[in-house]
Structure 1
Amino acid sequence: MSDFDAIDSLLAGVGPEAELPSPQVRQELRERARLSKAQVARALGVSPSTVAAWEGGRDPVGEVRTKYRYLLDGLATKFTTDTAPVTPSPAEPAAAQAPNAADAPPASPAVPEEGGEGDEVEALAVPEPCVLCGQPAGTRVAGFAQHLDPADCQTTAAVPPAQPATTPVQPGTAHTGKPTSTARTSRTPRPSERSQGPARRAFQEPSGPVDLIGQAVQAALAEHHGDVEAATAALVKRAIPDAMRLLDETRKGARYDVIAHPWIPDILKKQTSRGADQIWEARPKWTRRELPPGKHEVTALDINGAYLSALKTHLPLGQLEHSAGLPHDRRRAGVHLITPPVWEHEAVLPNPIGQRDEPGPLWVTEPTLRLLLRLSGPKYGLCAPPEVHESYTSGATENLLEKFRIALKDARDEAIEQGDEVTLEYVKAMYSKFVSTMGESNYNRELYRPDWMHIIRSQAFANLWLKALKAHDEGLAVVRAMGTDELHVIGDWHRVFPEGRGVTEVKVKDTYTAGTDTDDTTGEERE
C-alpha cells in the first residue's frame, strides 16, 4: 500500500457515521425478511441480545454499524423491488410451496407462550445432529438443531407405545419430568400429528438451555478423540462466548430487557489504563487477633460455587441514574456513596465493609449497602445505619440471571454426580469468566456492565460474611474469613453447615491446631 493509499484509507474512516433507520423499522425489516436475531447476529459477529438492543433503541458504532446499515439497506431495497411476489397455488403440495422451512411463511401465526416470544426457525447450510435423535437435521429451532417433522426423528419409532417418550437427557441436564418449552415451527401440525402421543411429545420437549453445555462437551471430546485434557482446555478457552450464548438462551421470553452497553458514570470507569475505578467491593480479609483460651482444632471450610450463588443478587436493569439525599429504595439497585458505621465487633467478626485503611465516605455496591442496613436493623442491632450521600441506581430485579444461574448449577450438580470433570471445569470457567469480563475487558465485547461485575462480586463477599455471622450465632468461634470462599472456624461445624460439593454445602480445605495449653509467663495450664 502506498502512502496515498494509506491516507485514503484514513480519510475513508473519518466522517459522519452511517445513518440508521428507526429501531422500529430495523425490527420490521428483519421480521419481514423472516430472519431471526440469531441469523443477523451471526452474520455481523455479535450476539442475539445485541441485535435485540439495536432494535430497542441502542445504536451500534464503528465498523459493525456500517455492516448493519448495509444489511438494512439491502433488505429495504429488496422489499422495494419485490412488488409482485409469487403466491403459490393452494392446490400445490406443501413441499412445493415451501422447499425451505426457514423461508416458508407460517400456515397460521405461532402463538407464543404467556410472557414469551415465538421460537425462531432457521435453515442450516450444513446439517447438524438433531438434539432429539442425533441424526442430521437441516433446520434449527430456538437455537437447537432438530427435525421439523416428528416422523423424521428416528428415536420416536424406537419408543414402545406403552412407554412415555421424554427428551433424551444430555450430560449436565437435571431432568425434572416436566416439559421445558414447546417448539414452534413454521407450520401448524395436522390433527393426526397431534394425536400421535409419543412422537408429538418427544417433539414438544426439545433440549433446554442446559443441553448447550452437554452438547459442547460432547463435541469437544469428539473433536479431540476423547483426550480429556485437550477437550477441557478447548472448552475453558471458549467459556466466555459460550456463557453469553447460554445467557441469550435463558433470556428468551424474559420479562425484562437487558441494556448491555449503557452510559456509565465516571466512578465506574478506570482512573488509569491499569488502575481501578472508585468502587469498593468489601472483600473480606480478616483474621481473629486473639483466640479463646486453650488449644483448638481449626477447620478451614471451602464455600462451593461462591460466584455461582452470587448471580442471584439485585441487578440494575437499565442505565444508572443519579440521585442525592434520598432514602434507600429497595426497588432499585446500583452503587452508593456512604459513610460506613463504626464497627465494634472486630474481635469476633470481620467488618462488613472489609479492611479499609482510609476513613470517610466511599462508594459501595448494592449488596454491601443492604448488608449494612440489615445489620443495623432491630433483628441484629450490630451497628448504626450507614449514611447514604448519593447514588447511581436503576430499577432492579433479583431474578435477572436466575435461569442462567440454575442452568449452570444443574449442569454442575450433574457433573459432580457423574464424576464428569470436563463438564465441571467448563461450567466453573463459564460463570467465573462471565463475572470477571463484563467490566472493561477485551475478552467480552457483548456485555459492558462494570456495575454488575462489582455487584456480583460484592454479593459473593456478603454471602461469606453472612456465613461467618451464622457460625458465630451458632456458637462457633470464627477465626478467619478471606475472599469469597474461605472460612475458618473452631467447633462442631457439622451442626451448622452441611458437608458436600453442592452450592449450598461446604467442604473441608484444611485442619490445623492453634492456641496453647499453658500460660506463656507462669507455665500454668489455662482454665
Structure 2
Amino acid sequence: MGDFDAIDSLLAAVGPEAGLPARGVRRELREQARLSKAQVARALGVSPSTVAGWEDTRDPSGEIRTRYAYLLDGLAAKFAVEVQEKPEPEAVQEPEPVQEPAAADDASPAYDASTAGAGEGDDVESLAVPEPCVLCGQPAGSRVAGFAQHLDPADCHTVTAPGPGPAPASEAAEPVARQEGPPRGPRPSGRSQGPAGRAFQEPSGPADLIGQAVRAALAEHEGDMEAATAALLKRAIPDAMRLLDETRKGARYDIVAHPWIPDILKKQTSRGADQIWEARPKWTRHELPPGRHEVTALDINGAYLSALKTHLPLGQLEHSAGLAHDRRRAGVHLITPPAWEHEAVLPNPIGQRDEPGPLWVTEPTLRLLLRLSGPKYGLCAPPEIHESYTSGATENLLEKFRVALKDARDAAITENDEVTLEYVKAMYSKFVSTMGESNYNRELYRPDWMHIIRSQAFANLWMKALKAHDEGLAVVRAMGTDELHVIGDWRRVFAEGRGVTEVKVKDAYTAAIGTGEEE
C-alpha cells in the first residue's frame, strides 16, 4: 500500500459513519426480501447471531457498517419499504399464534426449516433416496442448499426442549402440559413464547444453559437416562453454537463466521483432504534401556476442550510472503521444518512425515517449533517461513466458552452425572469437528480454526511428552491427542484424576528387555 493509499484509508476511517435505518426496519427489510440471517451473515462475513444483534440491540461499526448500510439501502430501494408505527395488538379472548419469523434463526438458521430451508432463491432438490435430515436425523426426501432436511416443519422430529440451541420449526408440537391456559395453535416458525421459551431466552448464565437442556431432556424422556443422552447428543451442535453466542455477549471482537478461504484450506476432492498438516503425533520409541520395564499408558483428559485456548484468527485470512512470524497474528504457514535429531527419545514435533520439503502447518505447530528452537530449549533450528495466510488473533476468543464447558464437565464428574458428561463431551468434540466442510454446522465455517484447534491438542500432548522426558521419565509412545506411554514414577510429574489438568491410567503393561515390545 502506497503512502497516499494509507492516508486515504485513515481519512476514510475518521469520516462520518454510514447511516442505518432503525433496527426494526432492518429486520423488516430482510424479511421482505425473504433473506435468512445466515444469508446476510455469509454476505457480510459475520455470524447469524451478529446480524440478530444488529436487528435488536446494537449497531455495527467501521467498514462492516458501511457494507451493511449498502445492503439495507439496496433492499429499501428494491422494495420501497414505508416505515410505519405498528399498532398495538387488540385484546382477544383466546391466545393467538405469535408470528416471529426472525427469532427462530437467532443462533443457528440451519435449524429452522422455514427460514433456512425453503426460502426463495435456495437450491431445493428432490432426493431419489432419502437422507438423514440435518435437523432431526430422520429420513428426508429433499435437499435444501446442499443439506438434507424436511420442507414441512411438521415432518421434522427435532427434540423440543428448553436449553442451549434455537427452537426448531416444529415447536408447535410442544406438549400442552407445559403450557398455562388454553393450548396455542400450531405456528409455522418462531420460538415458543410459553414457559419453555422464556426460560431459554433469559438464562441465568452460560453454564445454566447446559443444566436446563439436561433437565428438559430427562423430563421429556421420563427419567430414561439412555434416551435423554441420545437426544442431547443429537442436538449437541446447535446447542454448542447457542452456548458460544451466550458466552460471546459483550465480547470485544465479532467473529467472522464465513470468511473467504484460500484454496489450500479447501478439500482437493469430495472425499479427500486439504493441504494443511496438523502434526498429529504417531510415534513409538525404537529402543528401550536394558531391563524389564513397567509401562503406563496415560490418558490425557479433555484434550480438545483444553485446545480451545489457542491463538485463533479473528477475520478473513490475508496472504503474505517473506515475512517473519508476527505473534499478534495467527493462521496457516508454508514452512520448511527443521531437522529433528531427538527421534530416539522424543517424537518429531511435526509428526511422522516421510516426504521432505515445505508443508503448510498451523499456528500452534509453528509456535511450537519456534519455541523449541529458542534459547530455553535449543532442540532444533528455527523453521523457515515461506508464506502465510493470517489475520489478527487472540488466544482468548473461545475462553468463556471453554470455561463454561469445563465447569459443567467438572460438576458432572463430581456429581457422577454421566448424562451431562456425555453431552458436554459431544458439544466440544462436535463443535471442533463440524466447523470445517460439514453439513451439520451451517452457522460457522472456519476450517482454519478446526485445524488450529486440533493442532493445539497435538502440541499440548507433545509438551507433556517433553515434560515427562525432562523429569526423568522414559517416553515410550505418543499418539493422537490423548495417549502418552511412559516408564517411571509418573505421579510425581502429572496429577492423577479426571479433571482437564489431570491424567488417568488407560493401561499398564510390561515391556520386554531392550526391545520396547510388550509382553
TM-score normalised by length of structure 1: 0.66
Residues 391-417 of structure 1, C-alpha deviations (whole Å, 9 max, x = no match):
000000000000100010000000000
Matches within 5 A, 1:114-153: 145=198
Q: How many Å separate the matches in 2 of 1:147 and 1:287?
A: 49
Q: How many Å separate the matches in 2 of 1:306 and 1:258?
A: 23
Q: Which of 354, 357, 370 matches 1:357?
A: 354
Contact 2:282 2:352 in 1 (8 A): yes
Contact 1:50 1:446 in 2 (8 A): no
Q: How many Å separate the matches in 2 of 1:280 and 1:314?
A: 17
More deviation, 23-32/489-498: 23-32
Matches within 5 A, 1:101-112: none
Q: Which of 388, 395, 398 matches 2:395?
A: 398
Q: Which of 344, 347, 351 matches 1:347?
A: 344
Q: How many Å separate the matches in 2 of 1:459 and 1:323?
A: 23
Q: How many Å separate the matches in 2 of 1:147 and 1:280?
A: 40
Residue in 1 that maps onto 2:411: 414
Contact 1:140 1:146 in 2 (8 A): no
Q: Which of 490, 504, 510 matches 1:507?
A: 504
Q: Secondary structure at the match of 2:264?
A: helix
Residues 229-287 of structure 1, C-alpha deviations (whole Å, 9 max, x = no match):
11101110111111111111111111000010000000000000100000000000000
Q: Which of 440, 452, 455 matches 1:455?
A: 452
Q: How many Å separate the matches in 2 of 1:343 and 1:23?
A: 57
1:48 aligns with 2:101: no
Q: How many Å separate the matches in 2 of 1:394 and 1:50?
A: 22
Number of equivalences: 393
Q: Which of 354, 365, 369 matches 1:368?
A: 365
Q: Secondary structure at the match of 2:254?
A: coil
Residue in 1 that maps onto 2:25: 29
1:428 aligns with 2:429: no
Q: Secondary structure at the match of 2:486?
A: strand
Q: How many Å separate the matches in 1 of 2:488 and 2:506?
A: 16
Q: Which of 296, 309, 314 matches 1:299?
A: 296
Q: Secondary structure at the match of 2:289?
A: coil
Q: Which runs of 5+ in 2 are unaligned?
A: 1-17, 42-46, 66-70, 100-170, 182-190
Q: How many Å separate the matches in 2 of 1:498 and 1:147?
A: 38
Amino acid at match of 1:369: L
Residue in 2 that maps onto 1:275: 272
Q: How many Å separate the matches in 1 of 2:473 and 2:444?
A: 42
Residue in 1 that maps onto 2:185: none
Q: Which runs of 5+ in 1 are unaligned?
A: 1-21, 60-67, 88-94, 104-124, 149-182, 184-205, 519-527
1:320 aligns with 2:317: yes
1:470 aligns with 2:471: no
Residue in 2 that maps onto 1:239: 236
1:310 CA displacement: 0.2
In structure 2, relative to structure 1, the CA distance for the partners of 1:86 and 1:448 (3 Å cut) is closer
Identity, in percent, stands at 77
Q: How many Å separate the matches in 2 of 1:86 and 1:437?
A: 44
Amino acid at match of 2:198: A
Residues 7-46 of structure 1, C-alpha deviations (whole Å, 9 max, x = no match):
xxxxxxxxxxxxxxx994485624799x9xxxx8599999
Q: How many Å separate the matches in 2 of 1:50 and 1:360?
A: 44
Larger radius of gyration: 1
Q: How many Å separate the matches in 2 of 1:380 and 1:358?
A: 26
Q: How many Å separate the matches in 1 of 2:418 and 2:19?
A: 45
Amino acid at match of 1:48: S
Q: Secondary structure at the match of 2:463?
A: helix
Contact 1:53 1:260 in 2 (8 A): no
Q: Secondary structure at the match of 1:294?
A: coil
Amino acid at match of 1:363: W
1:515 CA displacement: 2.5
Residue in 2 that maps onto 1:186: none
Amino acid at match of 2:247: T
Residue in 2 that maps onto 1:495: 492
Moved over 4 A (4+): 25-28, 40-47, 50-59, 72-79, 134-141
1:479 aligns with 2:480: no
Q: Secondary structure at the match of 1:470?
A: helix
Residues 53-75 of structure 1, C-alpha deviations (whole Å, 9 max, x = no match):
9985889xxxxxxxx99xx7699
Contact 1:293 1:515 in 2 (8 A): no
Q: How many Å separate the matches in 2 of 1:136 and 1:290?
A: 71
Contact 2:288 2:514 in 1 (8 A): no
Pairwise CA RMSD of aligned residues?
A: 4.1
In structure 2, relative to structure 1, the CA distance for the partners of 1:53 and 1:244 (3 Å cut) is farther
Contact 2:38 2:443 in 1 (8 A): no
Q: Secondary structure at the match of 2:292?
A: strand
Q: How many Å separate the matches in 1 of 2:314 and 2:22?
A: 23
Amino acid at match of 1:474: E
Amino acid at match of 1:29: V
1:251 aligns with 2:248: yes
Amino acid at match of 1:443: Y
Amino acid at match of 2:246: E
1:49 CA displacement: 3.8
Q: How many Å separate the matches in 1 of 2:265 and 2:53?
A: 25
Q: How many Å separate the matches in 2 of 1:380 and 1:504?
A: 23
In structure 2, relative to structure 1, the CA distance for the partners of 1:464 and 1:30 (3 Å cut) is same
Q: Secondary structure at the match of 1:256?
A: coil
1:506 CA displacement: 0.2
1:145 CA displacement: 2.1
Residue in 2 that maps onto 1:167: none
Q: Secondary structure at the match of 1:413?
A: helix
Residue in 1 that maps onto 2:282: 285
